Structure 1
Amino acid sequence: MPTLIHISDLHRSPDEPIDNDTLLAAVVADVDRFAISYERPEALIVSGDLVQGVKLGSADFKRDIDQQYEVAFDLIRRLSDELLAGDRSKVVIVPGNHDVCWNTSHAAMEHVAPADYPRALRHSLGERDGQFRWSWDEQRLYRIVQASTYRDRLGSYWGALETFYSGTDLPIPIDRARGYHIFSIFDDQALVAAFESTHRNDHLRYEAELCTGVVSRFAMHLRRLGLNPALLAAVWHHSVNGPPNKEDYLNIEFIREMAGLGVQIGFHGHQHLAESTDLSVSIGGGTTMSVVSAGSLCASWHDLPRGTNRQYNIVRFDPSLSAGTLHVREMVEGSQFTERTSGRFIGGKVPLAWTARTDLGGRLVDPRGKRLREITVEVEEAWKHGRKSTATKELLRLTPPAGTYPRKVLLRALQVEREWATIFDFFWPTSGVDEAVAMAEAAFQLGNLERLEAIMAGGELPQTFREEFEARRDLLRLRKEN
């Protein structure tokens, strides 16, 4: 079943005693153990706070924060190499509040004299996209006066991100100003929107926010591209709930907008605690979205909630991508991860559910089935004209099941292209007469006497071919004896 890893809040810093080697070995070993009973992951989500950041007033803050990003992306790169065969297009990354450089945001502001305070100060401080900030420590008002410097408060994050994705084929290119990015996972059956919840987040403003209109622009982008995946997911950093005395969480109305526009599952971090919540909105007959939080992978112990260890998530999806299961992994003795067995996660997992996507006719969206049909026609047209097709590899990757027409087309195309090794690997055990004949031919071409004898003893090879392949079998025996 489709499976992904969700990590968050790496907080990479020289002050953190746990190193990348220890983290990498622990996660990879845990995934290996998990895969004995389940599946290996096909994607990786990193939901923000890659670094701890640098204190306000630090002398060489740019150098220090860049070094933290080197460590953070070293870990992400190595996880990608070990778990995803180095495919960075399947790694989804968003920034968190710790990725904002406070020293840079401070440099973009100037103090406002009391005589120049706006009349409606409270309104000005809460104004969307407003430029005023209040320092409670200093009891002073500040205003953003250098817009370009303020935008660059995430400069080190963006520089490291662009280097990480350099040369990677993504659905849309990295763009610092867009407010979202798009990733395709699970053989293009699922799309992930990566949102930045750090809009206007700085050393004086802790509230999370998405930039104005970004969810709607993302939805219209998908519409223009004609994309309607079976699963639509979103990633951001901040929590969606918080106590009255806290302000560093995302207004849940952003999430309701996502659900209303078709997002079915969301991933975030920030709270350093694994959790899942169902969110319902009464639009179009009612829509349910599942919201999943990951605990901190490697925050310092004093940053973790009381009684909580370091954590990360593994999420498994049903083949139809209409439901899933959240597995929470927790660090225990020996700096090793295992299933969490406390709180809601007594069995180490909880079910996830959301509203399935449908087309205009009310039918469940099946992009894999649609693509399978399209690619089958393309491959068939190619072999009918005796030519190779680049689409054959994609049809092979879609693994058409036994007894289906796409599987027959795939077999015929591979025979025309004389891809005997591929036939030998993919069509064993055989299903039906055509596959038995093709497998016998592949076994002979590859000189595999054992497989040829197995085919002949299996009973699927027609009598009209037996005499020919008996002679070929005898020829292989002579070759082996000589």
Structure 2
Amino acid sequence: MEPESTLRLNLDAFEVLRIANLTLYNQRFEPYAKFYERFYNGGRKFSLVPEEQYSTHDFPKLGVCIVGFSSCHDNDLYNRTGHISVEAITRAMDEANPIVKDGRLIIGVWHHSIQGGPKENDYIESGFLRHLMDANCSIGMHGHQHRPELLENRFSADSHRHISVISAGTLCGGPHSLPSGRMRAYNLVVLDQDEGVGTIHVRAMTNSDFSSPIWERGHVAEFGGSSMKFKLAQRKAQGRSAFDAAGKADQLIHQGQPVDAFELVRMHLSNPWARQIAATALAASENWKEAINLFSPPSSTADFLLLCDAYEALCDWASLRALISSSFARECPELAVQQRIQISEATLKGK
């Protein structure tokens, strides 16, 4: 019954079995690993080594990073208990730590429930949540029990230190896989990081035809309706300083990742260096509409040059003509601006 035990109890035959070959034992996930690699077209792979069974999915524009775990460590036909390798959690959270500094909210995802009935053992002990909390993971999500639920876990008297654990119903399960009184369901989770609040909206199947389900707002007795609000353990992080963000973004541009570079400095446009890096990133990614939205009217030479490029790329000749005739263009003594005006005037001939 101890973690990492190589012993298994076979109650049907009233015998104790021992895992004799851990390498062979770990290969029980080989069919899943092949499916996983096909699913991601070779872009990701599922390791057969328990310590490496995690994946990070970063979404800078959404401000979140999802870290996926396998809760089937030590799980087999003789041991239905869920378990996640502590080393996998440590490695994943070390990998996510720089992302937290960039202002991302960390969401952990696994399969097994964190509690079960007195006759059940196919759930995972909630103690591992401490490791996630220590690594600034704010939300946990799981399935397995096929019912919507929200549990806020705390391991100290600190009311601000907690992790919100959300479970969902089954989207495709048949009638025999549904708990008593439940129908198919799924969650929509809305996060307002500025306010530090999340909302779970439950959508449930409201007809009896499993081949053609109808989805509507589902009533969850524990929620007192179809929705439930919860406080995020952390509000939106301040992220890196403008100096650090600009430095990191500059590296990303040179590594051919201008989109990620721009996301790093988006919140620091009042800083001259970060603003210049942002302009470079937008030009490199040819995100001209965003460039016009953020840098018009121009307040610097870099802004002016970027806007000229943007209007030309979009063939917006009227805006380009207005830009080179603006007070900024007339009053700016910079040679680069004057040269760009001449080039634009030549381009505009006959337009």
Fold shared per TM-score above 0.5: yes
Listed as ranges, the matches of 1:321-340 within 5 Å are 322-332=196-206, 335-340=213-218
Tell whether 2:43 aligns with 1:168: yes
Matches within 5 A, 1:56-455: 126-128=1-3, 129-135=5-11, 138=12, 140-144=14-18, 147=21, 150-165=25-40, 167-168=42-43, 174-179=46-51, 180-187=53-60, 190-210=64-84, 214-215=85-86, 218-219=89-90, 222-223=93-94, 227=98, 229=100, 230-260=104-134, 262-282=136-156, 287-319=161-193, 322-332=196-206, 335-345=213-223, 348-356=226-234, 366-367=239-240, 372-375=245-248, 390=256, 392-398=258-264, 400=266, 403-405=270-272, 408-410=275-277, 413=280, 422-423=287-288, 425-428=290-293, 430-434=296-300, 435=303, 438-440=306-308, 442-444=310-312, 447-452=315-320, 455=323
Partner Cα separation in structure 2 for residue 412 and residue 328 of structure 1:
41
| Amino acid of the structure 2 residue aligned with 1:449 | W
After TM superposition, give the deviation of residue 321 of structure 1 in Å.
9.4
2:133 touches 2:163 (CA, 8 Å); kept in 1?
A: yes
Distance in 2 between residues matched to 1:215 and 1:314, nearest whole Å: 29
The more displaced of 427-436 and 260-269 is 427-436
State the one-letter code of the partner of 2:272. Answer: Y
For structure 2, the residue ranges without an aligned partner over 5 or more in a row are: none
- Structure 1 gaps of 5+ residues are 1-125, 359-363, 383-387
Letter in 1 for 2:70: E
Change (3 A) 1:357 1:177: farther
Question: Residues 285 and 463 (structure 1 numbering): CA distance in 2 closer, same or farther, change over 3 Å?
Answer: same
- Give the residue type in structure 1 aligned to 2:292: F
Alignment partners' CA distance in 1, 2:329 and 2:18: 81
How many angstroms apart in 2 are the aligned matches of 1:221 and 1:258?
A: 10
Q: Is this contact kept in 1: 2:289–2:310, CA < 8 A? A: yes
CA RMSD of aligned residues (A): 4.3
Percent identity, aligned pairs only? 21
1:262-296 alpha-carbon deviations (Å, 9 max, x no partner): 43221111110111110011188862111010111
- Equivalent residue letter for 2:293: W
Q: Map of 1:458-473 to 2, 5 A cutoff?
A: 461-464=328-331
Whether the 8 Å CA contact 1:420–1:445 is kept in 2: the answer is: no
Aligned pairs, how many?
331
Q: CA deviation at 1:168?
A: 1.8
- Partners of 2:156 and 2:183 lie apart in 1 by 37
Q: Deviations over 1:368-419 (max 9, x none)?
A: 967633235659xx9xxxxx8846443334462564435630465379x7x6
- The question of whether the paired residues in 2 share the 8 Å contact of 1:266 and 1:290 is answered with yes
Distance in 2 of aligned mates of 1:145 and 1:289: 35
Alignment of 1:5-16 (within 5 A): none
Q: TM-score, normalised by structure 2?
A: 0.72
Q: More relative contact order in 1 or in 2 (CA 8 Å, sep 6+)?
A: 1
Name the SS for the 1:352 alignment partner: strand
Specify whether residues 412 and 185 from structure 1 end up closer, same or farther in structure 2 by C-alpha distance, changes over 3 A only.
closer
Structure 1 residue 454: deviation in Å? Answer: 6.0
Question: Cα–Cα, structure 1 residues 394 and 224, in superposed 2: closer, same or farther, change >3 Å?
Answer: closer
